[in-house]
Amino acid sequence: VQLQASGGGLVQPGGSLRLSCAGSGPINSINTWAWYRQAPGKQRELVADITWGGSTNYSASVKGRFTISRDNAKNTVYLQMNSLKPEDTAVYYCNAEIYTSLTGWRYWWGQGTLVTVSS
């Protein structure tokens, strides 16, 4: 199983970016998807998550600005980030609870994609 994150880059304050993370390999099912981020010198923190049924949860710092969504047919999760602020600068990681016949249920991490918000 591999999770491939993409969509990061440099954006000005107030701008938008859309992150994607696609799962590949012998995936039978994906339960919860999540996005985490880690800023320089800080611990990794949960940004948002979404269940199989579509229930979402956001950190207070991004609520109202970010939207998490998923495409179950494509084994993909998205993070639409609007009204970006310099404090959103971080490496963003996707995470998923995945079932395979070999491993059962376990959590997998993507490789991270860098988001830099700066003028």
In this prediction, residue 79 carries a pLDDT of 98
First-to-last alpha carbon distance for the chain, in angstroms, is 37
What is the rounded average pLDDT of the residues 10-24? 98
94 forms beta bridges with 35
Residue 61, pLDDT score: 97
The one-letter code for the residue type at 25 is: G
* DSSP-based three-state secondary structure for 1: coil
Q: Report the C-alpha gap between 105 and 116 in whole angstroms.
A: 33
Give pLDDT, residue 72. Answer: 95
Beta bridge partners, 89, equal none
